[in-house]
A and B are shown apart, each in its own frame.
Chain A
Amino acid sequence: MFRFAIKMLFGDNAKFYGILLGLGFASLLIAQQASIFVGLMSRTFAFIGDVGHVDLWVFDPTQSYVDEPKPLRTTALERVRGVTGVAWAAPLYKGLLVATLPDGKRQLCNVVGIDDDTLAAGPGTIVEGSVADLRQPDAVMVQVGSSQQNMMFPAELAPGALPAPGQVIDPKGPKRPVQIGDIVELNERRARVVGLVRCPETFTPGPTIYTVYSRALTYAPPARRVMSAVLVKANEGVDPAELCERITEQTGYAALQPWDYSMRTLGYWMRETGIPINFGIAIALGFFVGVAIAGQMFYNFTLDNLRYFGAFKAMGASSRLLLGMVALQALVAGVLGLGLGLGAVSAFGLNAAGGKLAFKMLWQIPFIAAGAVLVICVLASVISMWKVVRLDPADVFKGA
């Protein structure tokens, strides 16, 4: 009879495709919006993950997330270095500064200053050049390959060249990507590109520019406190979690391992912004659209077949068998609808890869979508099953 149940499902083309589209659309919306949400949220702490070889981040205890400027005193570095268990500690500058390009265009940049001596916490992926080149005068390394805002130079200017006196460059003229040798101004100070790097997309706009810490301070506006964080490597055999507690206890600063700091940053964005609510609404809409369309379609499908279920019941089919048939129909429709939706989301994700759209489908997301589709199918089939259970086999003689 289960084979017949499947044939009944597939045989009613209009309703079957309606159920499939409803479930597919629901799983598409749920998985796609969840993936974009995860992708977007991942960008909020992407910078932390890109800073390698670091066990701990030390920062102002009132700082909620990595991009929030709550600089430390310069003495913080020595105080952290003085804590037992610290192998080394390096200063980090991170701030948004305006770069002026040779054509006069201004562009917001995320400037990162790394330790002059160790060059710790340098860029993860170097496309061209060497991190050691940052020791050259005015040297900076610039992010390329960003989907958001790459640094673009006038095509008519060769790398390293500046406009000749009296030369007017059309800001709307042809552009080329930044190259080694290019020169920009950061806060009216010269910066020369010595390397190109690739960084993960972050939540802040504009390209990331790496330089050494001391030079970053010359680019940054004058302030009493400029150190964004202290990066710490623990001695071998020292538990980073214990070291965190010790640093906090002895310095009063917050100290977290990279993952914990990422979660603190994520938590801020989750709590303090409307992003989760907005995406939550979209995901909930996907769910309710699924319930409304697929549920209604499935219910109508069962209603249309009620007279046949009644005939089966009269002929001796038990209620349990009929419920099994309805459940199987719901399950098959659910699996196919889910596959359709997840396939569409995967295609969407592949298409969006490397683009501006933040898209990250964690392995849990298909399971969440599957759970939601399962709930939709259960809701739809339970209502339908109720009709089947309540079905009086004698109704078949009433033309039911």
Chain B
Amino acid sequence: MSISSADVDKIAKLAKLDLSEDEREKFSSQLSDIVSYMEKLNRLDTKDVEPLAHVNDLMNVSREDKSRPSMEKEDVFKNSPQNDNEFFLVPKVLKT
């Protein structure tokens, strides 16, 4: 299976990536290789194999509903590029 340039565009858009024409071509062939390689798996007969939802054999790992002290506001904001001491500020995401 080959990944077309349009497929790469869609993936780039979903991942919020800007790609140059060169990159698009490069990734198109690279992604095609990856998908082709993965297609080898289709040769396996999985008729009697249960679908796997999780690689761990664990089930039912949970915790009690208990609140614990959290981080102080000053610490929360320490690494933020921009804030107003109440909220994180981000480039406008909605035209109003």
Please indicate whether A and B come from the same complex rather than being unrelated chains. Answer: no
